Protein backbone atom coordinates (compact mmCIF):
# COMPACT_ATOMS: atom_id res chain seq x y z
CA UNK A 1 0.00 0.00 0.00
CA UNK A 2 1.39 3.38 -1.03
CA UNK A 3 1.12 6.07 1.61
CA UNK A 4 0.32 9.43 0.09
CA UNK A 5 2.47 12.27 1.34
CA UNK A 6 0.52 14.99 3.13
CA UNK A 7 0.33 18.27 1.22
CA UNK A 8 0.07 21.74 2.74
CA UNK A 9 -0.65 25.10 1.19
CA UNK A 10 1.67 28.06 1.76
CA UNK A 11 -1.13 29.69 3.75
CA UNK A 12 -1.37 26.70 6.07
CA UNK A 13 2.40 26.75 6.67
CA UNK A 14 2.33 30.50 7.29
CA UNK A 15 -0.06 29.98 10.22
CA UNK A 16 2.67 28.13 12.15
CA UNK A 17 4.96 31.10 12.75
CA UNK A 18 5.61 31.28 16.49
CA UNK A 19 8.49 29.97 18.65
CA UNK A 20 6.10 27.37 20.09
CA UNK A 21 4.84 26.28 16.67
CA UNK A 22 7.50 26.67 13.99
CA UNK A 23 7.02 25.34 10.46
CA UNK A 24 8.98 26.20 7.34
CA UNK A 25 9.36 25.30 3.68
CA UNK A 26 12.69 24.17 2.24
CA UNK A 27 12.84 23.29 -1.46
CA UNK A 28 9.14 22.47 -1.60
CA UNK A 29 9.19 20.27 1.52
CA UNK A 30 7.45 21.21 4.77
CA UNK A 31 9.17 20.84 8.16
CA UNK A 32 7.98 21.25 11.74
CA UNK A 33 11.15 22.34 13.57
CA UNK A 34 9.51 23.38 16.83
CA UNK A 35 11.37 20.72 18.85
CA UNK A 36 14.68 21.54 17.08
CA UNK A 37 14.54 25.26 17.77
CA UNK A 38 16.84 25.32 20.80
CA UNK A 39 19.16 22.60 19.46
CA UNK A 40 19.96 24.52 16.28
CA UNK A 41 23.71 25.37 16.15
CA UNK A 42 22.98 28.88 14.89
CA UNK A 43 20.50 29.63 17.69
CA UNK A 44 16.73 29.67 17.94
CA UNK A 45 16.45 33.16 16.44
CA UNK A 46 17.69 31.94 13.06
CA UNK A 47 14.78 29.50 12.71
CA UNK A 48 12.24 31.81 14.34
CA UNK A 49 13.05 34.49 11.79
CA UNK A 50 11.87 32.28 8.92
CA UNK A 51 8.97 30.58 10.74
CA UNK A 52 5.99 30.05 8.44
CA UNK A 53 8.03 31.07 5.38
CA UNK A 54 9.98 29.55 2.50
CA UNK A 55 13.51 29.28 3.94
CA UNK A 56 15.16 27.59 0.93
CA UNK A 57 17.53 30.46 0.14
CA UNK A 58 18.48 30.98 3.79
CA UNK A 59 19.10 27.23 4.21
CA UNK A 60 21.39 27.08 1.16
CA UNK A 61 23.32 30.24 2.08
CA UNK A 62 24.00 29.10 5.65
CA UNK A 63 26.66 26.59 4.58
CA UNK A 64 25.22 23.54 6.35
CA UNK A 65 27.06 20.26 6.53
CA UNK A 66 25.75 17.30 4.58
CA UNK A 67 24.32 15.74 7.74
CA UNK A 68 21.96 18.71 8.03
CA UNK A 69 19.72 17.01 5.48
CA UNK A 70 19.61 13.88 7.64
CA UNK A 71 18.70 15.94 10.71
CA UNK A 72 15.97 17.80 8.82
CA UNK A 73 14.50 14.49 7.66
CA UNK A 74 13.48 13.85 11.28
CA UNK A 75 11.25 16.93 11.19
CA UNK A 76 9.77 16.43 7.72
CA UNK A 77 5.95 16.39 7.79
CA UNK A 78 4.93 16.74 4.13
CA UNK A 79 5.32 18.81 1.01
CA UNK A 80 4.06 22.08 -0.41
CA UNK A 81 0.93 21.65 -2.49
CA UNK A 82 1.64 21.88 -6.19
CA UNK A 83 5.31 20.93 -5.94
CA UNK A 84 6.31 18.25 -8.43
CA UNK A 85 3.36 18.72 -10.78
CA UNK A 86 5.41 20.58 -13.33
CA UNK A 87 9.15 20.47 -13.60
CA UNK A 88 10.64 23.82 -14.39
CA UNK A 89 14.10 23.81 -15.91
CA UNK A 90 16.50 26.33 -14.42
CA UNK A 91 17.12 29.28 -16.66
CA UNK A 92 20.51 30.95 -16.85
CA UNK A 93 20.17 34.60 -17.69
CA UNK A 94 22.86 36.50 -19.51
CA UNK A 95 23.09 40.13 -20.36
CA UNK A 96 23.46 40.86 -24.04
CA UNK A 97 24.87 44.20 -25.04
CA UNK A 98 23.56 45.49 -28.34
CA UNK A 99 25.47 48.35 -29.87
CA UNK A 100 23.03 51.02 -31.01
CA UNK A 101 23.73 54.48 -32.26
CA UNK A 102 22.15 57.02 -29.95
CA UNK A 103 19.48 59.31 -31.35
CA UNK A 104 21.73 62.28 -30.61
CA UNK A 105 24.40 60.86 -32.92
CA UNK A 106 21.95 60.23 -35.77
CA UNK A 107 20.58 63.74 -35.36
CA UNK A 108 24.07 65.18 -35.44
CA UNK A 109 24.91 63.23 -38.57
CA UNK A 110 21.83 64.55 -40.33
CA UNK A 111 22.59 68.10 -39.25
CA UNK A 112 26.19 68.07 -40.50
CA UNK A 113 25.27 66.27 -43.70
CA UNK A 114 22.51 68.79 -44.30
CA UNK A 115 24.89 71.66 -43.76
CA UNK A 116 27.37 70.24 -46.28
CA UNK A 117 24.66 69.60 -48.85
CA UNK A 118 23.20 73.08 -48.43
CA UNK A 119 26.61 74.68 -48.84
CA UNK A 120 27.26 72.68 -52.02
CA UNK A 121 23.86 73.60 -53.48
CA UNK A 122 24.30 77.31 -52.74
CA UNK A 123 27.78 77.42 -54.26
CA UNK A 124 26.67 75.39 -57.28
CA UNK A 125 23.78 77.82 -57.82
CA UNK A 126 26.16 80.74 -57.65
CA UNK A 127 28.44 79.07 -60.17
CA UNK A 128 25.55 78.25 -62.49
CA UNK A 129 24.22 81.79 -62.26
CA UNK A 130 27.54 83.25 -63.22
CA UNK A 131 28.05 80.65 -65.95
CA UNK A 132 24.74 81.57 -67.59
CA UNK A 133 25.50 85.23 -67.20
CA UNK A 134 28.89 84.68 -68.82
CA UNK A 135 27.35 82.90 -71.82
CA UNK A 136 24.86 85.73 -72.37
CA UNK A 137 27.63 88.25 -72.31
CA UNK A 138 29.67 86.13 -74.67
CA UNK A 139 26.86 86.24 -77.27
CA UNK A 140 27.11 90.04 -77.41
CA UNK A 141 29.60 91.81 -79.69
CA UNK A 142 32.77 92.69 -77.86
CA UNK A 143 35.66 94.83 -78.69
CA UNK A 144 39.07 93.19 -79.04
CA UNK A 145 40.26 95.23 -76.11
CA UNK A 146 37.82 93.47 -73.88
CA UNK A 147 39.54 90.07 -74.34
CA UNK A 148 41.37 88.78 -71.32
CA UNK A 149 44.98 88.41 -71.94
CA UNK A 150 46.20 86.93 -68.58
CA UNK A 151 45.19 84.75 -65.55
CA UNK A 152 41.82 83.25 -64.72
CA UNK A 153 38.67 85.26 -64.92
CA UNK A 154 36.09 85.83 -62.24
CA UNK A 155 33.78 83.08 -63.56
CA UNK A 156 36.46 80.40 -63.64
CA UNK A 157 37.49 81.39 -60.12
CA UNK A 158 33.95 80.98 -58.85
CA UNK A 159 33.62 77.55 -60.46
CA UNK A 160 36.95 76.30 -59.10
CA UNK A 161 36.20 77.71 -55.64
CA UNK A 162 32.76 76.02 -55.69
CA UNK A 163 34.29 72.65 -56.52
CA UNK A 164 37.05 73.03 -53.94
CA UNK A 165 34.63 74.12 -51.25
CA UNK A 166 32.32 71.21 -52.04
CA UNK A 167 35.19 68.73 -51.60
CA UNK A 168 36.39 70.45 -48.44
CA UNK A 169 32.86 70.42 -47.02
CA UNK A 170 32.55 66.68 -47.65
CA UNK A 171 35.88 65.96 -45.93
CA UNK A 172 35.05 68.28 -43.04
CA UNK A 173 31.65 66.63 -42.61
CA UNK A 174 33.25 63.20 -42.28
CA UNK A 175 35.74 64.51 -39.71
CA UNK A 176 32.99 66.18 -37.69
CA UNK A 177 30.88 63.03 -37.76
CA UNK A 178 33.78 61.00 -36.34
CA UNK A 179 34.33 63.53 -33.57
CA UNK A 180 30.63 63.71 -32.72
CA UNK A 181 30.08 59.96 -32.88
CA UNK A 182 29.69 58.31 -29.44
CA UNK A 183 31.37 55.00 -30.35
CA UNK A 184 28.45 52.62 -29.80
CA UNK A 185 30.59 49.50 -30.20
CA UNK A 186 34.24 48.61 -29.81
CA UNK A 187 34.56 48.16 -33.60
CA UNK A 188 34.01 51.89 -34.10
CA UNK A 189 36.80 53.14 -31.87
CA UNK A 190 39.64 54.94 -33.65
CA UNK A 191 43.02 53.32 -32.87
CA UNK A 192 44.14 56.27 -30.73
CA UNK A 193 41.13 56.16 -28.39
CA UNK A 194 41.17 53.55 -25.58
CA UNK A 195 38.09 51.68 -24.50
CA UNK A 196 36.73 52.72 -21.09
CA UNK A 197 38.16 50.46 -18.38
CA UNK A 198 35.05 48.42 -17.74
CA UNK A 199 36.44 44.95 -18.34
CA UNK A 200 37.81 44.42 -14.83
CA UNK A 201 34.56 45.13 -13.01
CA UNK A 202 32.61 42.97 -15.45
CA UNK A 203 35.10 40.17 -14.87
CA UNK A 204 34.60 40.35 -11.10
CA UNK A 205 30.88 39.68 -11.43
CA UNK A 206 30.80 37.15 -14.24
CA UNK A 207 30.22 33.41 -13.98
CA UNK A 208 32.93 30.82 -14.36
CA UNK A 209 34.15 27.42 -13.23
CA UNK A 210 32.09 27.16 -10.04
CA UNK A 211 28.73 25.37 -10.07
CA UNK A 212 26.10 26.26 -7.43
CA UNK A 213 24.77 22.72 -6.89
CA UNK A 214 27.44 20.30 -8.13
CA UNK A 215 30.72 19.65 -6.33
CA UNK A 216 33.80 19.71 -8.58
CA UNK A 217 37.41 18.89 -7.71
CA UNK A 218 40.53 21.05 -7.89
CA UNK A 219 44.12 20.01 -7.11
CA UNK A 220 46.07 21.71 -4.32
CA UNK A 221 49.26 23.20 -5.83
CA UNK A 222 50.59 25.22 -2.87
CA UNK A 223 50.21 25.13 0.91
CA UNK A 224 51.95 27.55 3.30
CA UNK A 225 51.67 28.13 7.04
CA UNK A 226 51.23 31.92 7.28
CA UNK A 227 50.22 32.29 10.94
CA UNK A 228 49.66 29.97 13.91
CA UNK A 229 47.41 27.12 12.66
CA UNK A 230 46.53 29.20 9.57
CA UNK A 231 47.27 28.05 6.03
CA UNK A 232 47.31 29.70 2.64
CA UNK A 233 45.96 27.13 0.17
CA UNK A 234 46.20 27.64 -3.60
CA UNK A 235 44.19 25.41 -5.94
CA UNK A 236 44.60 25.20 -9.71
CA UNK A 237 41.66 25.81 -12.05
CA UNK A 238 41.40 23.68 -15.24
CA UNK A 239 43.34 26.19 -17.40
CA UNK A 240 45.48 29.28 -16.88
CA UNK A 241 42.69 31.41 -18.36
CA UNK A 242 39.87 29.87 -16.29
CA UNK A 243 37.69 32.29 -14.30
CA UNK A 244 36.55 31.14 -10.85
CA UNK A 245 33.07 32.68 -11.17
CA UNK A 246 32.72 34.13 -7.66
CA UNK A 247 30.92 37.49 -7.22
CA UNK A 248 32.50 39.83 -4.65
CA UNK A 249 31.24 39.05 -1.14
CA UNK A 250 30.29 35.43 -1.78
CA UNK A 251 31.89 32.19 -0.66
CA UNK A 252 32.51 28.58 -1.69
CA UNK A 253 31.66 25.31 0.04
CA UNK A 254 34.16 22.50 0.64
CA UNK A 255 32.99 18.96 1.37
CA UNK A 256 34.88 15.89 2.55
CA UNK A 257 34.28 12.62 4.36
CA UNK A 258 35.75 12.72 7.86
CA UNK A 259 35.51 9.67 10.14
CA UNK A 260 32.88 8.19 7.87
CA UNK A 261 30.68 11.31 7.86
CA UNK A 262 30.19 13.92 5.14
CA UNK A 263 31.18 17.37 6.42
CA UNK A 264 30.69 20.64 4.52
CA UNK A 265 31.87 24.13 5.45
CA UNK A 266 31.94 27.50 3.70
CA UNK A 267 34.96 29.74 3.17
CA UNK A 268 35.56 33.07 1.43
CA UNK A 269 38.52 33.03 -1.00
CA UNK A 270 41.06 35.84 -0.89
CA UNK A 271 41.41 35.52 -4.67
CA UNK A 272 38.77 36.78 -7.08
CA UNK A 273 37.82 36.43 -10.73
CA UNK A 274 40.74 38.58 -11.88
CA UNK A 275 43.16 35.94 -10.54
CA UNK A 276 42.86 33.72 -13.56
CA UNK A 277 43.58 30.02 -13.25
CA UNK A 278 43.56 29.74 -9.45
CA UNK A 279 41.53 29.76 -6.25
CA UNK A 280 43.26 30.89 -3.05
CA UNK A 281 41.94 30.35 0.49
CA UNK A 282 43.18 31.43 3.92
CA UNK A 283 41.91 28.95 6.53
CA UNK A 284 42.54 28.71 10.26
CA UNK A 285 42.62 25.07 11.33
CA UNK A 286 41.33 24.14 14.78
CA UNK A 287 42.41 20.80 16.35
CA UNK A 288 38.77 20.06 17.23
CA UNK A 289 37.35 21.28 13.91
CA UNK A 290 35.81 18.42 11.93
CA UNK A 291 36.78 19.77 8.52
CA UNK A 292 39.74 22.01 9.38
CA UNK A 293 41.43 19.81 11.96
CA UNK A 294 40.32 16.49 10.53
CA UNK A 295 40.87 17.21 6.83
CA UNK A 296 42.29 20.55 5.68
CA UNK A 297 45.23 20.57 8.10
CA UNK A 298 46.38 17.23 6.63
CA UNK A 299 46.07 18.16 2.94
CA UNK A 300 49.18 17.73 0.81
CA UNK A 301 50.13 19.27 -2.54
CA UNK A 302 48.51 17.20 -5.25
CA UNK A 303 45.42 16.28 -3.20
CA UNK A 304 42.09 17.06 -4.83
CA UNK A 305 39.39 18.97 -2.95
CA UNK A 306 35.67 19.25 -3.77
CA UNK A 307 34.20 22.74 -4.22
CA UNK A 308 30.75 24.15 -4.88
CA UNK A 309 29.43 27.70 -5.18
CA UNK A 310 28.97 30.59 -5.30
CA UNK A 311 26.98 30.96 -2.09
CA UNK A 312 25.88 33.84 0.11
CA UNK A 313 23.57 36.84 0.21
CA UNK A 314 26.19 39.53 -0.48
CA UNK A 315 27.04 40.59 -4.04
CA UNK A 316 29.01 43.79 -3.64
CA UNK A 317 29.02 46.50 -6.31
CA UNK A 318 30.18 50.11 -6.24
CA UNK A 319 26.64 51.45 -5.80
CA UNK A 320 26.18 49.54 -2.53
CA UNK A 321 26.73 52.61 -0.32
CA UNK A 322 29.12 55.53 0.26
CA UNK A 323 30.66 54.45 3.56
CA UNK A 324 31.30 51.03 5.13
CA UNK A 325 32.35 50.23 8.68
CA UNK A 326 33.94 46.79 8.89
CA UNK A 327 34.58 44.71 12.01
CA UNK A 328 36.59 41.53 11.51
CA UNK A 329 37.95 39.04 14.00
CA UNK A 330 40.68 36.51 13.18
CA UNK A 331 40.03 34.64 9.93
CA UNK A 332 36.84 36.70 9.56
CA UNK A 333 39.04 39.12 7.64
CA UNK A 334 38.70 37.09 4.41
CA UNK A 335 35.29 38.39 3.21
CA UNK A 336 36.30 41.90 4.25
CA UNK A 337 39.54 41.63 2.29
CA UNK A 338 37.64 40.52 -0.79
CA UNK A 339 35.43 43.63 -0.65
CA UNK A 340 38.36 45.93 0.25
CA UNK A 341 40.39 44.67 -2.67
CA UNK A 342 37.52 45.14 -5.12
CA UNK A 343 36.98 48.74 -3.95
CA UNK A 344 40.65 49.74 -3.92
CA UNK A 345 41.41 48.21 -7.31
CA UNK A 346 38.43 49.89 -8.98
CA UNK A 347 39.38 53.49 -9.74
CA UNK A 348 35.71 54.45 -10.11
CA UNK A 349 34.74 53.17 -6.65
CA UNK A 350 34.88 56.02 -4.12
CA UNK A 351 33.45 54.02 -1.20
CA UNK A 352 35.13 54.88 2.12
CA UNK A 353 35.99 51.94 4.39
CA UNK A 354 36.86 52.02 8.07
CA UNK A 355 38.15 48.60 9.17
CA UNK A 356 38.57 47.49 12.77
CA UNK A 357 40.52 44.23 12.77
CA UNK A 358 40.64 42.36 16.10
CA UNK A 359 43.02 39.52 17.01
CA UNK A 360 44.48 37.85 20.06
CA UNK A 361 48.17 38.58 19.34
CA UNK A 362 50.13 40.49 16.73
CA UNK A 363 51.28 37.33 14.98
CA UNK A 364 47.63 36.35 14.46
CA UNK A 365 47.04 39.31 12.12
CA UNK A 366 46.31 37.89 8.66
CA UNK A 367 46.89 39.64 5.31
CA UNK A 368 48.69 42.42 7.16
CA UNK A 369 51.03 43.32 4.31
CA UNK A 370 48.19 43.46 1.79
CA UNK A 371 45.90 45.52 4.03
CA UNK A 372 48.58 48.06 4.91
CA UNK A 373 49.59 48.37 1.25
CA UNK A 374 45.99 49.22 0.32
CA UNK A 375 45.74 51.71 3.21
CA UNK A 376 48.93 53.49 2.05
CA UNK A 377 48.07 53.52 -1.63
CA UNK A 378 44.36 54.34 -1.26
CA UNK A 379 44.03 56.47 1.89
CA UNK A 380 40.69 57.89 0.72
CA UNK A 381 39.25 54.37 0.43
CA UNK A 382 40.65 52.55 3.46
CA UNK A 383 41.29 53.47 7.11
CA UNK A 384 42.82 50.58 9.08
CA UNK A 385 42.80 50.04 12.87
CA UNK A 386 44.13 46.95 14.65
CA UNK A 387 43.05 45.79 18.10
CA UNK A 388 44.75 43.04 20.15
CA UNK A 389 43.54 41.15 23.22
CA UNK A 390 47.08 40.32 24.36
CA UNK A 391 49.44 42.89 22.86
CA UNK A 392 53.17 43.07 23.46
CA UNK A 393 54.72 45.99 25.38
CA UNK A 394 55.70 47.79 22.16
CA UNK A 395 52.32 47.51 20.49
CA UNK A 396 51.03 50.93 19.38
CA UNK A 397 47.58 49.93 18.12
CA UNK A 398 44.33 49.34 19.96
CA UNK A 399 44.19 47.16 23.06
CA UNK A 400 41.43 45.03 24.54
CA UNK A 401 38.00 44.27 23.14
CA UNK A 402 36.03 46.16 20.50
CA UNK A 403 33.55 48.30 22.45
CA UNK A 404 30.68 50.57 21.49
CA UNK A 405 32.96 53.55 22.10
CA UNK A 406 35.60 52.19 19.71
CA UNK A 407 33.00 51.67 16.98
CA UNK A 408 31.50 55.12 17.57
CA UNK A 409 34.95 56.63 17.07
CA UNK A 410 36.01 54.56 14.06
CA UNK A 411 32.82 53.78 12.15
CA UNK A 412 30.73 56.16 10.02
CA UNK A 413 27.60 57.66 11.57
CA UNK A 414 24.35 55.75 11.17
CA UNK A 415 22.67 57.22 8.09
CA UNK A 416 21.23 56.06 4.78
CA UNK A 417 24.64 56.20 3.06
CA UNK A 418 26.43 54.04 5.65
CA UNK A 419 26.51 50.27 6.16
CA UNK A 420 28.29 47.91 8.54
CA UNK A 421 29.83 44.49 7.79
CA UNK A 422 30.65 41.97 10.53
CA UNK A 423 32.56 38.68 10.48
CA UNK A 424 34.28 36.88 13.32
CA UNK A 425 33.68 34.84 16.48
CA UNK A 426 29.98 34.66 17.52
CA UNK A 427 30.61 36.42 20.84
CA UNK A 428 32.24 39.40 19.16
CA UNK A 429 29.57 39.62 16.45
CA UNK A 430 26.64 39.42 18.88
CA UNK A 431 28.13 42.10 21.14
CA UNK A 432 28.76 44.32 18.12
CA UNK A 433 25.15 43.94 16.92
CA UNK A 434 23.78 45.21 20.24
CA UNK A 435 26.24 48.10 20.37
CA UNK A 436 25.46 49.15 16.79
CA UNK A 437 21.73 49.31 17.54
CA UNK A 438 22.54 51.62 20.47
CA UNK A 439 24.56 53.76 18.03
CA UNK A 440 21.49 54.21 15.81
CA UNK A 441 21.91 51.46 13.24
CA UNK A 442 19.02 49.23 12.23
CA UNK A 443 18.64 46.01 14.18
CA UNK A 444 20.05 43.18 12.05
CA UNK A 445 17.90 40.16 11.27
CA UNK A 446 18.77 36.59 12.09
CA UNK A 447 19.66 35.96 8.43
CA UNK A 448 21.45 38.81 6.70
CA UNK A 449 20.25 40.19 3.39
CA UNK A 450 22.25 42.37 1.04
CA UNK A 451 20.13 45.45 1.70
CA UNK A 452 20.56 45.28 5.50
CA UNK A 453 22.31 48.21 7.13
CA UNK A 454 24.22 45.73 9.33
CA UNK A 455 25.34 42.68 7.36
CA UNK A 456 26.87 39.57 8.95
CA UNK A 457 28.91 37.23 6.78
Of the residues 16, 251, 255, 386, only one is catalytic, namely: 251
| 83 touches 28 (CB < 8 A) | yes
Of the residues 22, 169, 264, 268, only one is catalytic, namely: 268
Give the residue among 61, 60, 52, 51 at the shortest CA–CA distance from 27: 60
Report the Cα–Cα distance between both ends of the chain, in Å, rounded.
Answer: 48
Whether 285 is catalytic: no
Q: What angle is formed at CA 352 by the lines to CA 351 and CA 355, rounded to 5 degrees?
A: 130
Whether 334 is catalytic: no
Of the residues 285, 344, 423, 456, only one is catalytic, namely: 423
Whether 423 is catalytic: yes
Of the residues 231, 267, 337, 357, only one is catalytic, namely: 267
Q: What is the C-alpha separation between 77 and 94, in angstroms, rounded?
A: 38
Which residues are the active-site residues?
A: 251, 267-268, 423
Amino acid sequence: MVVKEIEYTAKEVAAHNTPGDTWMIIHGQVYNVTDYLHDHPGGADVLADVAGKDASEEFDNAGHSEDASEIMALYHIGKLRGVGKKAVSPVRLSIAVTAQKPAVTRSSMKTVAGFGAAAAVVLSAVGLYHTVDYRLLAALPRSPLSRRTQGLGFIEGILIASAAFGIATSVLSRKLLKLMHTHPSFMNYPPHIKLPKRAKQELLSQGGWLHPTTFQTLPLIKKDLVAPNTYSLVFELPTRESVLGLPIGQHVAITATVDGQAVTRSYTPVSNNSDLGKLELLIKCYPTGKLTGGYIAHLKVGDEVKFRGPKGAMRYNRTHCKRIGMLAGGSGITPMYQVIRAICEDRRDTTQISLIYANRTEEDILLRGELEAFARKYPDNLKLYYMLDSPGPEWEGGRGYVTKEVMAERFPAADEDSKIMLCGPPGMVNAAKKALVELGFEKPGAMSKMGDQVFCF
